[in-house]
Structure 1
Amino acid sequence: MKRIGQYTKPTVLFVDMNSFFASCEQQVNFYLRDRPVAVCVYTGKQGCVIAPSVEAKRLGVKLGMRLDEAMQLCPGLVPVEINSKRYREFHVAIIDVLRQFTPDVFPKSIDEAVVDLTRCQLMYKDVWQVALQIKSDIRTKVGDWLRCSIGIAPNAFLAKLGSDLHKPDGLVMITPETIDDVLKDLHLTDLPGIGQRMAKRLQDQGILTPLNLRYASPERLRAVCKSIIGWHWHLRLNFGGEVDLETSAYKSMQAMRTVSASQRQSPEQLDELLQSLCLTLERRMMKQDVFCQEVTFSCRYHDSRNYGDEIKLPEPRQDGMELYNLIRQRFERFQHVNRCEPILNRSIRSMSVSVFRFIPAQLVPFSLFEDNTRKNTLRKAVYEVKAKFGSDKLMRATELRDNPVFRDVIGFGSIKDLHDDQNPF
């Protein structure tokens, strides 16, 4: 949804659940309430904190800290292993609450959503009261320990900015009359979407503050950003319409996991984890009915080294084991040519596989050298059976393991798979 044109009414709400994963754990376990909690993929001392609770944040525990470091900083910290199914269920329940106010609800991540009341202005005279009611309904209908910060503004970008200003449990409205007061005390990197590199580019051109950014001409911003992004910044900060709610197809898909200490000790488990990442992407591409034309593999090590590879596929691919074999062949060749240690070694910290440049399945050309039609048809049939009877009723031989190392985890990024049937975003 893209609306270009002067629009100053604050009818867009950005709902940001506070310390969502940890709050879900505190919701279901009364013992954890009012205690500093750290949600981790693994709770060994090398585990990584992926979601500290409000109480833990106040004591200095931050996202990405190693668990042993967090425990030294906060001896009373309670580590909890991630429960992805639980967070998905809470997410869906929260979205159901939001859709009671309007059908124009856009989930942005597992813990964020935009509620656009622009088409419901005759129903809601006071948007501030709507925000208060949303907070109340989440507490009474989903969980009494769940809190959210809400920003209200004429567009999603400014609403997101408002939701970040007062946490936890904040409520901020940004209008043409208040925006300068909001921006004057902020840094460029406080604005959603501006990282250190973009901030430096702007600063090098004399745009030092958010207010400078707001009052720069669109022509200057286009030149500085060298793209349409500059014009979008002008529209966002000057109430020129909505450019952040446009629905679009996937541009990429990623599967990434942190590697536990026990997994690092076993080459077989590391290999199994790589296979599982590729099969996860196969499942997602099957659901979207697309093939990829590019795949990347990357991993990080505990000594701060990195390895990455990008593969442009000669033919579109969807099969997870084909992607796995290509990645294995590439880094085995790299190991041979460079006479280096194995890519999957005992110091690996995380690994990631991403796929890009999608093409609809119906447009995939037939290969001149290999007939993949039967293989693609069989793969589709397998997933149809899984969808109907359960994912464990029909499995590949590669998925049959006594102690699977691949854990079901979920991040804070795209949650499109949860909503594609209802509201593609």
Structure 2
Amino acid sequence: MRFSVLYLDMNSFFASVEQHLDPSIRNRPVAITATEGEHGACVAASYEAKAYGVKTGTRVRDAKALCPGIVFLPSRHRLYVRYNLKVAEVLDRHAELYRIRSVDEFQIALSGEATELPGLTRLVTDMKAAVAREIGPCLRFSAGAGPNHLLAKIAGKLEKPDGFRWLDRENMPQAIAHLALDDLPGISSGMSERLNRAGIRDMAALCALDPRHARRIWNSVEGERFVRALQCEDIPLTETRSGGIGQSKILAPDFRAPREAYLVSRWLIAKAGRRLREAGKVAARFGLSIRMIDGRQFSRSMKCEARQDDLHFLRINRALWRLAWPDVARAQILSVGIQLDDTAPLSARNGDLLSGLGPAERLPAERAARAMDLINARFGDGTIRTGVNRPHPGFFERG
């Protein structure tokens, strides 16, 4: 067997950083909260707290009932980003750190002896020891290896905390036969239902699926790529063009009803759109991601006309929410995010002969959006808006 990707997932990262900094709370149940007070919720929990049933999304009052004596701390996202970079520096000295996937996830490109299991095992052992020695023993990670990113990521979730698992032709699909279809990253409950209708109801059937059939089920080439990756082919990640602009939000309990979350997404578009215009860019792809408290996710992006006005992106956002509605209508929403991708300078946009629009010229809706930016800059954010939205400033506002 030969491995090409190692995926590292920090264990209870936010809580572990706090335990590292404060020895008095080590080996104690700790929860990180997104908002203060009894109506707040936990955005992370230590393994000591998880043993009592406290998890991401648990309300503060419920966490207290489940785990008397639990320690609550407010989230400090900038602090966690600094420790993310500390960990990244240590990892990069041992192997090629290909990509920081998120604040607590890393992707390593394997080469040389590390592509074989004995060398890979030594590498993982050395990196675990280095992180503990150079940063602190509270910071641990689970590792997963595979011939592609998807299998490495799945493997990294199989043994927590502080585990190491691998997936390859020798143990697939039996090593993941116990998982449900929507346990896999990228398969929402809606996609799981679509697979069920196609007669694909378990992991063995999914892994044996003809990739061409998968393309039809997904209605996208991504279905074929996904199944080929499960079949242990070397399927590289699709590269996203640099320069994208994103906004995401961990929601407080009062914002978790789907209709409230939708209004927050409109607010995020206003923020991202302003950044896009300030950068003098247009975006030709819009993405929406919705994460639910029960762990399900909806994520979809759509190619669109290269624009920079909020009204254009709000229409696409509404269309994607309609697609998501069967999955999210009865759910509690944990987080929502939007992404403006395939960006390019407005100055490089071609004109439209039929409409009379000249090269690099703004459309009327784009000129109106720019005028709104100027008004809000002078009189305060939200003075004038494109329709109704729900501002939600506070913890974990990223981008």
Structure 2 length-normalised TM: 0.71
- Taking the aligned partners of 1:407 and 1:15, their CA distance within structure 2 comes to 29
Gaps of 5+ in 1: 1-7, 262-270, 300-312, 328-348, 380-394, 400-404, 412-416, 418-425
Spell out the pairing of 1:5-154 with structure 2 (5 A cutoff).
9-118=2-111, 126-154=119-147
What is the aligned partner in structure 1 of residue 326 from structure 2? Answer: none
Distance 1:24 1:351, change over 3 A: closer
What is the aligned partner in structure 2 of residue 267 from structure 1? Answer: none
Identity %: 25
What is the aligned partner in structure 1 of residue 380 from structure 2? Answer: 398
What is the aligned partner in structure 1 of residue 394 from structure 2? Answer: 407
Aligned partners of 2:288 and 2:336 also within 8 Å = yes
Distance 1:23 1:177, change over 3 A: same
What is the aligned partner in structure 2 of residue 224 from structure 1? Answer: 217
Report the alpha carbon displacement of residue 283 of structure 1 after superposing the two structures with TM. 4.4
- Taking the aligned partners of 1:122 and 1:184, their CA distance within structure 2 comes to 25
Of 247-256 and 152-161, more deviation after overlay is shown by 247-256
Report the alpha carbon displacement of residue 110 of structure 1 after superposing the two structures with TM. 0.9
Greater relative contact order, per chain length (Cα 8 Å cut-off, separation 6+)? 1
What is the aligned partner in structure 1 of residue 173 from structure 2? Answer: 180
- The aligned length equals 340
Counterpart check, 1:256 vs 2:249: yes
SS at match of 2:282: strand
Distance 1:285 1:35, change over 3 A: farther
What is the aligned partner in structure 2 of residue 360 from structure 1? Answer: 344
Aligned partners of 1:297 and 1:351 also within 8 Å = no
Counterpart check, 1:317 vs 2:312: no
Distance 1:368 1:247, change over 3 A: closer
Amino acid at match of 2:6: L
Distance 1:100 1:281, change over 3 A: farther
Distance 1:355 1:164, change over 3 A: closer
- Taking the aligned partners of 1:167 and 1:251, their CA distance within structure 2 comes to 33
- Taking the aligned partners of 2:151 and 2:115, their CA distance within structure 1 comes to 23
Q: Residues 133-160 of structure 1, C-alpha deviation per residue, up to 9 Å, x if partnerless?
A: 1111111122221010000111111111
Aligned partners of 1:290 and 1:359 also within 8 Å = yes
Of 101-110 and 159-168, more deviation after overlay is shown by 101-110
Aligned partners of 2:244 and 2:342 also within 8 Å = yes
Report the alpha carbon displacement of residue 58 of structure 1 after superposing the two structures with TM. 0.9
Q: Residues 278-336 of structure 1, C-alpha deviation per residue, up to 9 Å, x if partnerless?
A: 4566447756x63357989999xxxxxxxxxxxxx999437xxxx59x99xxxxxxxxx
